[in-house]
């Protein structure tokens, strides 16, 4: 059985979205004859609130080593744990490689500094490595004018070529996440590499910097159906507080729930969404029992969701809790909602891993994505797109509002919701793990 060394600074009990990537893929690697060997950081150095229930979602197949990290200074100058633990991870990775049989090194990013470990370890050991793009490293920041974002992208443009130069596998949650990185860093082979199906290779494509095989693979986060079987007891739901309000205690609210980070490129979509609801209210076509809840949206720097609600005079039915909720709690919340909302992105490469969680909640899903997003195909394959808005860049605000009103009207009419969840199998974490293994075995 081959062994893959997964280096990722966070692990349970940190329930960050990034941890889900190696967790979901790793849960199925042993079934595919690859042992997952994990190198991470001791939980005492995490800044995030621990989630003790999260460990219930991890298989027993992981062999895990944890290292120390430099503590966060006061004032907080360096928070990124990938940077605070960089030396310790590198040192322990060399130690593991010297004592154990490691066949491949896999490095999900962000933390983006994590990718540099692959290059450094390759120079010392010649063990092939792969970089997994959970998010693009070099990305569009045209809607962000702050100095921190600009500095971050300057560093990205300097470091990415160093990290990726001798890579063997470039993977990501979808091909558009990493295709620009291939085009920037491998211009001589980019076209051939991106248009070749590695699973049917006879003449392997070589990395010109190593003269070793190189390939790429796009595979979504996927999902582990076992996660949705875990039911937590004695849960307090975010909306229970409104039931104690004298003005609303008599209501039996229908909860429309959005769970997860609010994205920089979601603002225009949310604004049109709220405007459409406002217009439906004025037309007397809105259900007064609906409450829109946005939880775990994060400390985003731009205009708040509640501010958009005030703009459109619907602040009495819009609620936001920006603090993150533990993963299993979110799954349990989704399962009791009247409607699950996904406000996607204006970017076509956005895949929305929460799409799977939302569908597996078995609740109706109201969503908006770029019309070319892979998430649209997921919804279509599952015959669950009856409440999906497809954003196109040429749309005016009025176009978007009209699309939203049409979809909302369908949902308000309480149409039957009968998706074909068997179609999700092709997007499962097990299938993503199979794709990754296929790519690894094409280059080693």
Contact 249, 243 (CB under 8 A): yes
**Which pLDDT band, with edges at 50, 70 and 90, does 37 fall under?**
very high
Per-chain mean pLDDT for the chain: 92
Q: What was the pLDDT predicted at 77?
A: 78
Distance of CA 370 to the CA centre of its chain: 16
Q: What was the pLDDT predicted at 252?
A: 76
Contact 276, 408 (CB under 8 A): yes
Contact 388, 407 (CB under 8 A): yes
CA-to-CA distance for 270 and 103, rounded, in angstroms?
46
Q: What was the pLDDT predicted at 250?
A: 44
3-class SS string, 219-236: CCCCCCHHHHHCCCCCCC
Assess whether pLDDT exceeds 80 at residue 251.
Answer: no
Residue with tokens 């074909």, as numbered in its chain: 420
**Which pLDDT band, with edges at 50, 70 and 90, does 263 fall under?**
confident
pLDDT in tens, 107-143: 999 999 999 999 999 999 999 999 999 988 988 766 6
Q: What was the pLDDT predicted at 143?
A: 64
Q: What was the pLDDT predicted at 301?
A: 82
Contact 74, 40 (CB under 8 A): no
**Which pLDDT band, with edges at 50, 70 and 90, does 355 fall under?**
very high
Domains and CATH numbers, the chain: 2-224+428-443 (3.40.50.2000), 225-426 (3.40.50.2000)
Q: What was the pLDDT predicted at 412?
A: 95
Mean pLDDT is lowest, of 15-29, 71-85, 262-276, 368-382, for 71-85
pLDDT in tens, 286-316: 999 999 999 999 888 889 999 999 999 999 9
In eight-state DSSP terms, residue 28 is: T
- Average pLDDT (366-377) is 94
Its sign, for the CA torsion 154, 155, 158, 161, is: negative
Q: What was the pLDDT predicted at 220?
A: 87
pLDDT in tens, 416-425: 899 999 999 9
DSSP class per residue in 131-196? EEESS-SS---TT---HHHHHHHHHHHHHHHHHHTT-SEEEESSHHHHHHHHHHH-TTTHHHHHHS
pLDDT in tens, 51-107: 999 999 999 999 999 999 999 888 887 889 999 999 999 999 999 999 999 999 999
Q: What was the pLDDT predicted at 265?
A: 87
Which tokens sit at 330?
């979110």
Closest CA to 130 of 119, 145, 141: 119
**Which pLDDT band, with edges at 50, 70 and 90, does 249 fall under?**
very low
Assess whether pLDDT exceeds 50 at residue 208.
Answer: yes
Assess whether pLDDT exceeds 70 at residue 318.
Answer: yes
Assess whether pLDDT exceeds 90 at residue 149.
Answer: no
């Amino acid at each position: 059985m081959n062994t893959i060394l997964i280096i990722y600074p966070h692990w349970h009990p940190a329930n960050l979205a990034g941890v889900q990537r190696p967790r979901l893929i790793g849960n199925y690697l042993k079934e595919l004859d690859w042992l997952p060997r994990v190198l991470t950081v001791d939980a005492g150095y995490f800044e995030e609130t621990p989630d003790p229930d999260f460990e219930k979602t991890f298989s027993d197949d992981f062999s895990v080593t944890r290292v120390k990290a430099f503590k966060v200074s006061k004032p907080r100058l360096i928070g990124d744990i990938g940077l605070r633990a960089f030396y310790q991870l590198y040192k322990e990775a060399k130690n593991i490689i010297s004592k154990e049989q490691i066949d491949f090194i896999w490095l999900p990013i962000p933390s983006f500094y994590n990718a540099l470990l692959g290059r450094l370890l390759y120079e010392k050991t010649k063990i092939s490595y792969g970089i997994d793009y959970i998010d693009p490293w070099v990305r569009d920041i045209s809607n962000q004018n702050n100095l921190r974002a600009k500095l971050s992208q300057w560093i990205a443009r300097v470091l990415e070529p160093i990290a990726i130069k001798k890579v063997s596998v470039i993977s990501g949650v979808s091909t558009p996440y990493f295709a620009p990185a291939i085009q920037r860093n491998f211009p001589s082979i980019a076209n051939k590499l991106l248009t070749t199906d590695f699973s049917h290779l006879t003449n392997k494509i070589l990395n010109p910097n190593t003269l070793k095989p190189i390939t790429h693979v796009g595979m979504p986060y996927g999902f582990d159906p076992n996660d949705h079987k875990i039911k937590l007891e004695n849960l307090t739901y975010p909306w229970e507080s409104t039931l104690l309000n004298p003005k609303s205690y008599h209501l039996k609210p229908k909860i429309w729930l959005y769970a997860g980070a609010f994205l920089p490129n979601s603002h225009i979509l949310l604004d049109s969404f709220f405007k459409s609801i406002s217009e439906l209210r004025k037309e007397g076509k809105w259900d007064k029992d609906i409450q829109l809840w946005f939880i775990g949206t994060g400390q985003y720097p731009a205009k708040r969701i509640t501010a958009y609600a005030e703009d459109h005079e619907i602040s009495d039915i819009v609620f936001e809790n920006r603090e993150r909720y533990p993963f299993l709690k979110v799954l349990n919340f989704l399962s009791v909602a009247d409607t699950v909302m996904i406000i996607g992105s204006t970017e076509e490469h956005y895949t929305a891993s929460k799409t799977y969680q939302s569908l597996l909640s078995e609740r109706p899903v109201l969503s908006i994505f770029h019309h070319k997003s892979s998430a649209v195909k997921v919804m279509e394959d599952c015959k669950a797109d009856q409440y999906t808005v497809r954003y196109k860049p040429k749309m005016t605000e009025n176009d978007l509002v009209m699309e939203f009103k049409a979809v909302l009207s369908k949902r308000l009419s309480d149409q039957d919701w009968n998706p074909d969840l068997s179609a999700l199998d092709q997007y499962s974490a097990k299938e993503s793990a199979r794709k990754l293994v296929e790519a690894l075995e094409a280059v080693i």
